[in-house]
Amino acid sequence: MSVSRFQAMDVIENRLVPEVNAPSANISEFFGCNVFGDEAMQAFMSEETYLSVKATVQTGQKLTREVAEKVAEAMKAWATSKGATHYTHWFQPLTGRTAEKHDSFFTLRPDGTVLEEFSAEALVQQEPDGSSFPGGGMRSTFEARGYTVWDPSSPAFVLEVGDGRTLCIPTIFTTYGGDAMDYKLPLLRSQTVLEQASIAVCKMFDENVNHVHATLGWEQEYFLIDQALFRARPDLFYAGRTLLGASSAKGQQFEDHYFGSIPERVYAYMRDLETECHKLGIPVRTRHNEVAPAQYELAPMFEEINIAIDHNQLLMDIMDRVAGRHKLAVLLAEKPFNFINGSGKHNNWSMATDTGKNLLSPGKDPMKNLQFLTFFVNVIRAVYEHADLLRASVASAGNDHRLGANEAPPAIVSVFAGEGMTRILDAVENGTAARFDDMASEMELLSKLPTMEVHNTDRNRTSPFAFTGNKFEIRMVGSSASCAAPMTVMNTIMAQQLKNFKADVDALMAGGTAKEEAIIKVLRRYIGESKAIRFEGDGYSNEWKEEAARRGLPNVPNSAQALGAYVSPKAVELFTSNGVLTDKELQAHFSVKLEKYIKDIQIEASLLREMVLTMVLPACVEYQNSLLQNIALQKEIGLDKDAYEAQLDIVEKISKHLNGAKKAIDRLHKAIHKAESAGGLHDEAIAFGLEVKPVFDEVRKHVDHLEQLMDDQQWPLPKMRELLFVR
């Protein structure tokens, strides 16, 4: 039997806030202590080996076997000094979370001797049985082998779980034939093309640029509720969101939670979580209450994109573990509760050079400004060209409840440039100057705009893609999602755009146009062409939906439909020609996303049915019986109908809504059967989204009425007010 709602409340009354002990009050003293980073490498490797590893990370060239052997030796020595007994290749299958399979260093030799061992083979490549990971048909079970291959660009780390210590080695996950079965490999490939394309463009401005990398700073929103209440709700426990529940009288009306004082239990959780993050080198810095009750956020300093993504994946794992210690449950789902805000994971994205420049930071000197403007305009143009793909990259059943739900960006992709930048773009576009000299003075003028003005970009929280002074913030990503898919798309569309830009400028220059003039000309054209994607107004408004339709911008609220953009001829061409995903990989990843979408809804449907028939209905019948008994007794002593009018009314209403709920459940079943026979996977997913999902609301409507009619003492499921406010 599951924990009852009242048992849960009793348990919470007696909770103690666990003590939180950081290794030191100064984070700098223990930051990264469980990471095999520069410091550890230098301590455990020869100078020569260390430099080889660094060169590999910089250039991507392969490590020789000899060096790999030395790295493995050093890693083992370091990890065992930290108490690690096991190692694992840590990877990111298409489930969107992380996977690990531990092996011990301890080995028994044929001659009976025992020792701790870690070879170059074990470091570089492993063969976990991949048959149970989603592969979208790339690897049928008879060729079930999947390979994990070391990614030296993301440092190994020791994960502490209770008293256990495991060396985790970030890896990519592929089939025998080398096809990507994870999110990391396409991401790494997208970084490579972005780097190549960016360097070529950077060199137009500065010959000294030899490396460019994308940067990512994510902001993770989440809900935190008591574990006992969480366990008393099968929907939360198994689906991560409530499928039933009348709204709480008090919700987020006062908006008093945002940036409010952090409750003590939550504060302890945050400190504990941050300590774990810091030990693992995740540079989290910011914590605060979010808008909805029981909603919070944490954010790190930005990092190189691959590492930032690994860190976010690791974070989601640690959040769960630490919550367990505090008898709390973390909800990462995009929309755990109706009627209040959902959670997102803003992705702050930019690009940085090895000369220390943030390519999306407006500089002071005009030529540098032209470089900034070049990258800025190319981002806008890339988003304009591939808005549908960006939308597809954040598609999930969970995010369907959030996008466009009046507190999250709409499903229409648009770019917010801010007032200062809009003025600059308009000036460039309308600049009557045909020659660069005139343009240069225009640019110079622009460069004199106080930098503050650009930074002051009014925080348009309704935009899905906003310039925030020195980076773009992509707000559509769901809170439970891996950042890898949207970031892979972002890198790839930008790479393609920069290639086009370079070709356009080169063509003009070949015709005799001077470089700067050619650049301005091309940018001017791009600004004009991509104007439709720019929107500074209220993205939540209905007017915007109409306006966007007039502009011809795609608006696809349903994720299953949106996913189609992944396999459009345009996307196939983009991904394959840039070497980010092969046609086969693309089809496979597409299938995995569709399957996940369908399964998420199937699981929710089963849970909903079970909760209604086995929890709600019996409770309602019991209450109804007690009312009927009361009515019968009143009748027996000769009272007339007036006396038991209220009881009778409730009895009737309970019957009405119980029948309504049962009928809706039956309709849900029919809709599922119909969807399952829709033919192709894509059509099936769309049917689940458009025909199955809406029936959930019909069931819920009746059950939520019942909740408000029922004896509070007999209602089995923790109520919204309890979930959100009891701690």
Which residues of this chain interact with ligand ADP, rule CB under 6 A?
215-217, 219, 299-302, 348-350, 358, 468, 470-471
- Cα distance between residue 338 and residue 434, in whole Å: 55
Ordered DSSP codes for 172-197: EEEETT--B-BSHHHHHHHHHHHHHH
CB of 35 to ligand ADP, least distance (A): 19
Q: Measuring CA to CA, which residue among 398, 358, 323, 353 is closest to residue 693?
A: 398
Positive or negative torsion for Cα 207, 213, 216, 217: negative
CB of 475 to ligand ADP, least distance (A): 11
User: For residues 346 and 727, which CB has a smaller minimum distance to ligand ADP in the complex?
Assistant: 346
Q: Measuring CA to CA, which residue among 691, 640, 632, 700 is closest to residue 665?
A: 700
User: For residues 300 and 564, which CB has a smaller minimum distance to ligand ADP in the complex?
Assistant: 300
Q: In this structure, what token pair is assigned to residue 468?
A: 């925030």
User: For residues 79 and 332, which CB has a smaller minimum distance to ligand ADP in the complex?
Assistant: 332
User: For residues 126 and 191, which CB has a smaller minimum distance to ligand ADP in the complex?
Assistant: 191
Q: In this structure, what token pair is assigned to residue 668?
A: 């849900």
Q: What pairs with residue 103 in β-bridges?
A: 87
Q: Are 279 and 30 contacting, i.e. CB atoms less than 8 angstroms apart?
A: yes
CB of 375 to ligand ADP, least distance (A): 12
* Pairing of the two strands 157-161 and 125-126: unpaired
Residue closest to ligand ADP when measured from CB atoms: 217
Positive or negative torsion for Cα 565, 567, 573, 579: positive
User: For residues 288 and 321, which CB has a smaller minimum distance to ligand ADP in the complex?
Assistant: 288
Positive or negative torsion for Cα 594, 404, 393, 130: negative
User: For residues 75 and 489, which CB has a smaller minimum distance to ligand ADP in the complex?
Assistant: 489
CB of 545 to ligand ADP, least distance (A): 27
* Pairing of the two strands 295-300 and 284-289: antiparallel
Residue 28 neighbours by CB under 8 Å, 6+ apart = none
CB of 257 to ligand ADP, least distance (A): 17
The values of phi and psi at residue 458, to 5°, are -50, 135
Ordered DSSP codes for 97-146: S-B--EEESEEE-TTS-EEE---HHHHHEE--BGGGS--TTSS-GGG-BE
User: For residues 358 and 647, which CB has a smaller minimum distance to ligand ADP in the complex?
Assistant: 358
User: For residues 490 and 699, which CB has a smaller minimum distance to ligand ADP in the complex?
Assistant: 490
User: For residues 82 and 455, which CB has a smaller minimum distance to ligand ADP in the complex?
Assistant: 455
CB of 34 to ligand ADP, least distance (A): 22
CB of 347 to ligand ADP, least distance (A): 8
CB of 600 to ligand ADP, least distance (A): 28
Q: Are 406 and 554 contacting, i.e. CB atoms less than 8 angstroms apart?
A: no
CB of 410 to ligand ADP, least distance (A): 20
**To which residue do tokens 């925030």 refer?**
468
- Cα–chain-centroid distance for residue 326? 24
User: For residues 70 and 278, which CB has a smaller minimum distance to ligand ADP in the complex?
Assistant: 278
User: For residues 287 and 325, which CB has a smaller minimum distance to ligand ADP in the complex?
Assistant: 287
CB of 298 to ligand ADP, least distance (A): 10
- Cα–chain-centroid distance for residue 708? 35
CB of 227 to ligand ADP, least distance (A): 29
CB of 466 to ligand ADP, least distance (A): 10
CB of 216 to ligand ADP, least distance (A): 6
Q: Measuring CA to CA, which residue among 627, 515, 646, 610 is closest to residue 244?
A: 610
User: For residues 462 and 468, which CB has a smaller minimum distance to ligand ADP in the complex?
Assistant: 468
What SS3 state is found at 457?
coil
- Cα distance between residue 597 and residue 96, in whole Å: 12
- Cα–chain-centroid distance for residue 525? 34
CB of 372 to ligand ADP, least distance (A): 12
- Cα distance between residue 176 and residue 186, in whole Å: 16
CB of 302 to ligand ADP, least distance (A): 3
Residue 578 CA: distances (Å) to CA of 153, 194, 311, 389: 21, 9, 26, 15
One-letter amino acid at 539 equals G
Q: What pairs with residue 201 in β-bridges?
A: none
Q: Are 212 and 352 contacting, i.e. CB atoms less than 8 angstroms apart?
A: yes
- Cα distance between residue 473 and residue 539, in whole Å: 15
- Cα distance between residue 346 and residue 479, in whole Å: 8
User: For residues 262 and 440, which CB has a smaller minimum distance to ligand ADP in the complex?
Assistant: 262
Helix (H) or strand (E) holding 349: strand 345-353
User: For residues 237 and 258, which CB has a smaller minimum distance to ligand ADP in the complex?
Assistant: 258
User: For residues 349 and 372, which CB has a smaller minimum distance to ligand ADP in the complex?
Assistant: 349
